[in-house]
Every structure is written in structure tokens, then in C-alpha cells.
């Protein structure tokens, strides 16, 4: 699909979603300016790995989205056709340690960028990376765009501030502003602090004899795990639509952290057997009895929704969104990529 816009501003381009989105946009002929934190060199390892760090249509600019005048100046100078706001505090666990910082990084930064667009580039389409964490622990599952918001964590609240701002600026000022309500979307480009990448990297190290086991938190938490490139492609399509709207992006299938670990080990040829319960549960490798996964209470969150699954019918219908990998395919891709990196 050819996108109907020529230029895009992408905040947080060095992260998983930012780098994948930039690669997708560049592949569609869009000129991309990506932002990085002022005062430090941009982290280019993902852009380099994707082969776009020296792309002639890619430019970089320093920006602190919490700096409203800086947001206004950059938007005024660039006049982008689309603005994708992906920068911010991205870890639920960190939000419990710094709730005020999370709200500022995720909520107030969104207001700054919406105001910058309203004042200086009102024809631009703004797309926010919202989060399924805004739903908390919903009474019914799967959830869709009409499900009430009730976040359980400071991170979820910070994303709800941003999500609500997008809807408010759309209704109050007529901006073309959309929220991508992202359920768990993973890839080989995910940061190692996230549980799926922690698992895939741990499996790769164990397979190479460089480690013996992985320590995890809540094994029972069930999430909707999809493949990140599918999600950024949907976000790019959102910016090409007239007007703004909100879209749940999800696979519609739940898997526990235990399921993901089992599948990831299987991708490296190791079958797990789970024994025990609660904090004493372990996974041992079938055939040799070696413990490969232990539970560590240090990795538990103060509050954790037991189940988050999304219904993406609207995105399938209007954006052509279609998950390309199931859980086994996702885990296999991540483990194989980590094995290749370690080799």
C-alpha cells in the first residue's frame, strides 16, 4: 500500500517501535525525521540493524517532548504531514518507582505535541502509541475501543492521560488525531528489559552454554502477544486516513508468560516440564532435569492485570491489520535472532 503522505516526524525513533516504523515509512517513500534525547548521541543500533541508519530520506533531531516550546519550534520548522508520538516512559514496573515522571513523560508530552500541531501544522495527522494498560483488569474480555478505561498502574494512568488528550483535541479542535491502543507487540528489536526479550535472550544463552536458568516474575499473567512490525504498519495506515479514530491492535489470543517461556525453549530444542506452585514453581528441561526457569518475587509488580486480550475487528476492517505470526512463530523468530547475535 502506498501511503498518502510525504513526510513524518517520529518521536522515540531509537526504540523498537520507532525504528520499525521508520523502516516501514522509508520503504513506502516517506521522508522521516526521528527525534532523540537532547545532549546525547542517538542510539542507532536498531536503525543500523534494519539498514536505514544512513538512509538519504532519514534525518535526526534532538527533542525533549516535555519541553513545549521545543515541540512547537520543531513542528513549525518541519511542517510534517504526520506525527507519530512513540517516545516516553515505556516500562510498567518503572512507573511504580516514578509515577510523576511517567505522567510527565507520557501524558504531558502528548499535550505539548498536540498543541504544537494545532498551532503550527493543523493539517498533520497525529498518531499516539497508546496502550492496553489503560484498561486495567477489564470485567469482560476481549476488549475493544468501547471498553471503559480503569488503569491499575501509574504507567496505565499516564497512557490514559495521553489517550484522553488525543480524543479531546480531536473533538475540541478538529485535529486529525488517532490513538493506537497497542497490546503486547514484540520482536527481536525489543529491549532486553521486557519479559519476552528477557526470555528469548536467556534461552539463547542457555542453548550456547553461557547461562543455566532464567528468573521470572508472575508466570500466570496472560497477555496478547503480537509481532511488532504488523502493529507499526497499522499505525502508518492510521495516519493516511481522513480524520482521527482510535484502534485496538491485538491478535485476540491470550498466552501466559509460562506459555511464552515454554514456546521459546522449544524453539531452541529444549522441552520444559513445570513443577511446583507459586513462588516455588520451576521449569526443568526434559531429559536432564536441569532447572531452566525459577520464580523471583523481585520481578512481581505491585498490581498486575491477570488477563489482557484485545479485539481488533475495527483495525482489520479499516486498516487491513492482520497478525502475521502466532506465538510459536514469534518466539522462534526472537530466539533465532538472539542466537545469531550471540554467535
3 state DSSP class of 104: helix
Q: What is the mean pLDDT of residues 273-291?
A: 96
**What gap in Å lies between CA 163 and CA 128, rounded to an integer?**
7
- Strand-by-strand arrangement of the 307-308 sheet: 255-256, 222-223, 307-308
Element (H, E) at 220: none
Which positions ≥6 away from 54 have C-beta within 8 Å? none
Give the rounded percent of residues in the chain with a pLDDT score beyond 90. 85
Question: What are the boundaries of each domain within the chain?
Answer: 7-188+226-251+309-324
Contact between residue 216 and residue 281 where contact means Cβ atoms under 8 Å apart: no
Grid cell listed for 209: 552454554
**What gap in Å lies between CA 171 and CA 236, rounded to an integer?**
22
List active site positions: 133, 155
pLDDT tens, position by position, 39-71: 888 889 999 999 999 999 999 999 999 999 999
Q: Which CATH class is domain 7-188+226-251+309-324?
A: alpha beta
Q: What share of the chain is helix, strand, coil (3-state, %, to 5)?
A: 40, 20, 40
Which positions ≥6 away from 77 have C-beta within 8 Å? none
pLDDT tens, position by position, 182-230: 999 999 999 999 999 999 999 999 999 999 999 999 999 999 999 999 9
Q: What is the mean pLDDT of residues 134-145?
A: 92
| pTM for the structure as a whole | 0.95
Amino acid at each position: 500500500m502506498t501511503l498518502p503522505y510525504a513526510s513524518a516526524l517520529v518521536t522515540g525513533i531509537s526504540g523498537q517501535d520507532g525504528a520499525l516504523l521508520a523502516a516501514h515509512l522509508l520503504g513506502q517513500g516517506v521522508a522521516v525525521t526521528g527525534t532523540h534525547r537532547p545532549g546525547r548521541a542517538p542510539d542507532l543500533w536498531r536503525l543500523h540493524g534494519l539498514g536505514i541508519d544512513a538512509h538519504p530520506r532519514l534525518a535526526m533531531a534532538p527533542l525533549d517532548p516535555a519541553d513545549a516550546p521545543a515541540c512547537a519550534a520543531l513542528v513549525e520548522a518541519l511542517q510534517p504531514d504526520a506525527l507519530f508520538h512513540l517516545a516516553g516512559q515505556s516500562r510498567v514496573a518503572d512507573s511504580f518507582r516514578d509515577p510523576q515522571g511517567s505522567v510527565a513523560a507520557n501524558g504531558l508530552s502528548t499535550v505539548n505535541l498536540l498543541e504544537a500541531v494545532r498551532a503550527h501544522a493543523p493539517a498533520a495527522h497525529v498518531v499516539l502509541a497508546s496502550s492496553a494498560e489503560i484498561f486495567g483488569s477489564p470485567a469482560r474480555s476481549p476488549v475493544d475501543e468501547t471498553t471503559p478505561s480503569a488503569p491499575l498502574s501509574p504507567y496505565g494512568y499516564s497512557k490514559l492521560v495521553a489517550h484522553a488528550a488525543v480524543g479531546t483535541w480531536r473533538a475540541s479542535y478538529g485535529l486529525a488525531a488517532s490513538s493506537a491502543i497497542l497490546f503486547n507487540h514484540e520482536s527481536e528489536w525489543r529491549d532486553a528489559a521486557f519479559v519476552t526479550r528477557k526470555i528469548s535472550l536467556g534461552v539463547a544463552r542457555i542453548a550456547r552454554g553461557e547461562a543455566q536458568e532464567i528468573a521470572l516474575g508472575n508466570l500466570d499473567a496472560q497477555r496478547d502477544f503480537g509481532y511488532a512490525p504488523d502493529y507499526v504498519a497499522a499505525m502508518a495506515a492510521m495516519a493516511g486516513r481522513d480524520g482521527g479514530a482510535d484502534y485496538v491492535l491485538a491478535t485476540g489470543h491470550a498466552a501466559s508468560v509460562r506459555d511464552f517461556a515454554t514456546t521459546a525453549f522449544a524453539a531452541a530444542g529444549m522441552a520444559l516440564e513445570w513443577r511446583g506452585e507459586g513462588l516455588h514453581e520451576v521449569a526443568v528441561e526434559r531429559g536432564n532435569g536441569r532447572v531452566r526457569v525459577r520464580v523471583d518475587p523481585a520481578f512481581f509488580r505491585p498490581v498486575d492485570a491477570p488477563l489482557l486480550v484485545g479485539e481488533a475487528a475495527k483495525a482489520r476492517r479499516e486498516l487491513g491489520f492482520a497478525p502475521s505470526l502466532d506465538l510459536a512463530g514469534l518466539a522462534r523468530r526472537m530466539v533465532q535472532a538472539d542466537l545469531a547475535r550471540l554467535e
